[in-house]
Every structure is written in structure tokens, then in C-alpha cells.
A = this chain, B = another copy of it.
Amino acid sequence: MQKFGGTSVADPERIRAVADHVARTRRSGDDVVVVVSAMGKSTDDLLRLAFDVAERPDGRELDMLLTAGERISMALVSMAVEDLGVPAMSFTGSQAGIVTDTAHNRAKIMEVRGDRIREALAAGKVAIVAGFQGVSTEREITTLGRGASDLTAVALAAALGAEVCEIYTDVEGVYSADPRIVPKARKLARVSFDEMLEMAATGGRVLALRSVEFARNHHVKVHVRSSFTWAPGTWVTEEDPSLTSMEQAILSGVTHDASEAKVTIEQVPDRPGVAATWFRALADAGVNVDMIVQNVSTAGRTDISFTVPRTDLARAESCMDKIVVETEATGYRTDPRIGRVSLIGAGMKTNPGIAAQMFEVLAAEGINIEMISTSTIRISCVVAEDDVEPAVRALHTAFGLDGAS
């Protein structure tokens, strides 16, 4: 299984390079299934057209429109592979048997049939599959949400029992931090699914969260690598017990995300049901709440802070007045200029020294921590937006992640 993202098929030259790699893999004797994204920024272009012709484009029609993008790239890749003398055949999500629920624009995969792909492979053909799309149980064309071509690849790899799911992209693999911010960031040879999940959830842009979840749940070996250098990249696999048994924190990277905003509800009476009230109101408004921190209450009142994608902030604000009244809070404030810095690594929870060291490093840089949240393999701090990059660099160095460069 080989999956190529938008930048990997952005123009005819890139498509021919991809076809060449696919043909070579096939000639080496392996069955090959290829999943492709739409070319370059073409999905964005189609979306823009949709909003040019309609204020609120219909969900079904939006899916019909957007699926044209992968249809174009899969046909081009397929004819380019055929042109090299290797039989190939393209499949839409529907033809590939990606069956989804009926939620247009964000459908969930219900089943992967893959019969026609198995037939093509048995006939010695390379199967080229459109990512990001499927067909609903009601026979309508659906899409799986932005970035879901990775999910298509992982789901097909699971259904077909592929040896490996190679995700080709424009970077060489998963790095210990964003190399644009930390020049000494190291390419990781391997990360565990759990670490990759935390990275994807906290700003690591290499793999989409849902595809990592799917890969973990279905034991699909993922290899993230570059379609520009074709060098070996990063393996995402089950945790290696020989490493974790050492009971020592193994830090794998620092991630950051500067696309969120913070909302604080002030002086909420601390009583049962309050959280449910405001959380429901935000959910009904379609606001995606991420981190939530509730301070210890003083005199029966508490501040509740949460982060939302910055694009959801306007919607969140539109229902805050109602929330303040209903929860009997004294008011609310918002801060769009925040960012989150996260330290990811196995064995972190049992090494409280890591968190302490993280806070010390940030303090030494004069960086104020606004919110903290942790998981078994992650510590995240919300800081001012301007502090994000210095924080990433300081943490990367302090925790010994800098490469030799």
C-alpha cells in the first residue's frame, strides 16, 4: 500500500515520478495498491468555487464536487503507470468498496469491501484508489473529511492485509519538532501509535489523527516517508516492549499548535451540571472544544478555561452570553493569541520529574504558562502565541532532542 498526498501529485512531473516509483515497486514483485489525494491545492480551489456559487453549498453536492479532485489524480497516475508498461486500473472510493455512513463531508467508514481491488491485484494490475471518498449505505457519494486520504490508505491496508502502509508526503518522516522552528530537529526512525496519536492531536501535521487511530486499532504498520527523496522515513508501529520496560521516559518530540483560541468563563458557581450546561450549548453551536481546565474552586466559584479552534471562536462567542446567564457566571473573556506546546514521550506519567523540568525550562525562558493538561505520554502547556516558537526550541534542547546536525 502506497499513499501519495497532494504535493506528491501536484503536477505532471511529480505524477510521472510517482508512477515511476509505483512501477518499480510492482516490478520488484509486490502487489501494489496506491491511494492518491487530489492534486496540490485543487480541493481548496473547488471549495472556493462552491462558496462562489452558493452561500451555503448543499452537503451532498459538495461531496459530489470535491470527489472530482481525486478522480482526476487517480486517472492521471493510473495512465502514467500504464504508460510505463505496468498494467494499472483506477478506482473511485465507491468502486473500491469504501462504504460509509450517510454524513456528507465528514462520513465515517462502516466497511471496506475491496472485492474489485482484489480482482485487479489477482489479474496482476496495480490498483490506484481515490482517497478521501466513499459511497454511503444509501448509495450516495460521500467524503471522509479533510486529510482523510491517509485514512483511506490505512483502512484499505487493513482490509487487504497489506504488509505495510507507506504514506508518502513532502517531508522525510516524523520529526522531534517542526524543522522550520527547530533546525536541529531529528527525524525519528520509529514512533509508537500512542505517541503518534498525541503528536497528531497536538499539532504534528504529518499524519491525520483518524488514520493513526485506525492504524492502531487494526494493527496496520505505517511508514511515513518522502516522495521527493524516496529515503526511508519513520515507522509508526506498536510500542516496542524492549524500550518501554526500562521504566524510563523516552521523549520523542515537541509539537506545537498555534491555531487555537482560549475562552474563560469567570466565577462559575461550582455545582453539578454546570459543565454539562455550557458544553452542550457549545456542541449545539458546532464548536469543537479541545483542552478544558477547571481551577480549584474558591468560595464555591471557579474559572473554567477551554480552547477552541480559532475558526470556531466567533461561533463560541455567539453563545457565551447565554452560557454566562445560564451558569450564573460573572462574565467571560477570550484570547485568540495563544498557542500550545506539547512534549510527547512514553513513560512520562511515571516520571513526574519530566513535567517539573518542562515548567522550569519555560520559566527560565520567561514564558508564562496559562493552562496545563497531561496524558500518559504527553504534557501540554498553553502559552502566549509569541512564546510558542521560543518554547519549542528551548524544550527541544533541554530534553536532549537536538540532533547532531
Q: Which residues of B contact A60 (CB under 8 A)?
A: 89-90
CB distance from A225 to the nearest CB of B (A): 22
If A54-B80, A79-B50, A83-B53 touch, whether A72 touches B68 (CB-CB below 8 Å) is: yes
From A46, A50, A60, A72, name the one whose CB has the most chain B CB atoms within 10 angstroms: A72
Q: Is A67 in contact with chain B by the CB < 8 A criterion?
A: yes
Pick out which of these stretches binds chain B: A12-20, A161-169, A264-272, A365-373: A12-20
- Is the CB–CB distance between A71 and B68 below 8 Å? yes
A23 contacts B by Cβ under 8 Å: no
A58 at the binding interface (Cβ < 8 Å):
yes
Chain B residues lying within 8 Å of A88, measured Cβ to Cβ, are 58, 61
Would B83 and A54 count as touching, CB distance under 8 A? yes
Q: B83 contacts A56, CB within 8 Å?
A: yes
Are the CB atoms of B49 and A61 closer together than 8 Å?
no
Q: Is A76 among interface residues, defined by CB-CB distance under 8 A? A: yes
Q: A65: CB under 8 A from chain B? A: yes
Contact residues, A43-76 vs B (CB, 8 A): 46, 49-50, 52-58, 60-62, 64-65, 67-69, 71-72, 74-76
A53 with B19: in contact, given A46-B72, A78-B58, A82-B61 (CB under 8 Å)? yes
Shortest Cβ distance from A74 into B: residue: B64
Copies per complex?
2
**Secondary structure of the A contact surface, majority rule:** helix
| Most central of A58, A67, A75 by chain B CB within 10 Å | A75
Complexed CA–CA distance, A89 and B61 (Å): 7
Known contacts A12-B49, A64-B90, A57 near B72 by CB under 8 Å: no
Q: Are B79 and A65 in contact (CB under 8 A)?
A: yes
Assess whether B72 is in contact with A65, with CB atoms less than 8 Å apart: yes
- Residue pair A75, B61 in contact (C-beta under 8 Å): yes
CB <8 Å contact, B67 and A71: yes
Q: How far is the CB of A96 from chain B (nearest CB, A)?
A: 13
Instruction: Kindly identify which residue among B12, B64, B89 contacts A52, using a CB–CB cutoff of 8 Å.
Output: B12
Bound together, the chains give a CA A178 to CA B119 distance in angstroms of 53
Interface residue tally of chain A, by bracket?
35 or more
Q: Which of A46, A50, A67, A79 has the most C-beta atoms of chain B within 10 angstroms of its own C-beta?
A: A79
Chain B residues positioned under 8 Å from A57 (CB to CB): 79, 82-83
- Is B65 a contact of A49 with CB atoms below 8 Å? no
Task: State in angstroms the CA–CA spacing of A15 and B74 once bound together.
Answer: 27
Q: In the docked arrangement, what's the CA distance between A16 and B15, Å?
A: 34
* A53 partner residues in chain B, CB cutoff 8 A: 12, 15-16, 19, 76-77, 79-80, 83
State A65–B74 Cα separation when bound (angstroms): 8
- In whole angstroms, what is the CA distance A348 to B292 when docked? 86
Contact partners of A69 in chain B: CB under 8 A: 68
Q: Bound complex: CA of A12 vs CA of B55, how far in Å?
A: 12
B65 touching A76, Cβ below 8 Å? yes
**Contacts from A to B (Cβ < 8 Å):** 12, 15-16, 19, 46, 49-50, 52-58, 60-62, 64-65, 67-69, 71-72, 74-80, 82-83, 88-90, 92
Further 4 A-B residue pairs, CB within 8 A, beyond A60-B90, A68-B68:
A53-B83, A64-B75, A65-B71, A65-B79
Sample (16) of A-B pairs whose CB atoms are under 8 Å apart? A54-B76, A54-B79, A54-B83, A55-B83, A57-B79, A57-B82, A57-B83, A58-B88, A60-B89, A61-B76, A61-B88, A61-B90, A62-B75, A64-B90, A65-B72, A67-B71
The 6 closest A-B pairs by CB, nearest first: A12-B52, A65-B75, A54-B83, A64-B75, A53-B80, A68-B68
